[in-house]
Amino acid sequence: MAFDIKKKAEEIVKKIAQDESLRKDFSKEPIQVIEKLIGVDLPEEQIEKVAELVKAKIDLDQLSDLAGNLGNLKNIGSLGKLFGK
């Protein structure tokens, strides 16, 4: 049975995004959380690759959210000018 690391990382990101407790645990002990979520005994090397992909995806999502928030601030500033503030 082949193990699709990218697919598994995407599944884990979704689970972590939906569960605040998992997010906290993942930030402290990513390898242990991933091992628990995968539920399959894999070589440490593969678990580490999944952890790296999950961390990268979470970081990318956080940057995207931050950029979106900055865009909203810009729009608020434009509205303020429109209304004389």
* 0.85 surpassed by pTM: no
Task: Give counts: helices (H), strands (E), the chain.
Answer: 4, 0
Q: Give residue-wise pLDDT tens across range 24-34.
A: 998 899 888 88
User: For the chain, what is the domain count?
Assistant: 1
**What pLDDT does residue 73 have?**
53
Mean pLDDT rounded to a whole number for the chain? 76
Residues 6+ apart with CB under 8 A from 41: none
The domain of 38 spans: 5-82
pLDDT digits (tens, 9 = 90+) for 38-74: 887 778 888 888 888 888 888 877 766 666 665 655 5
Q: What are the backbone dihedrals phi and psi of residue 78, each rounded to the nearest 5 degrees, phi first?
A: -65, -40
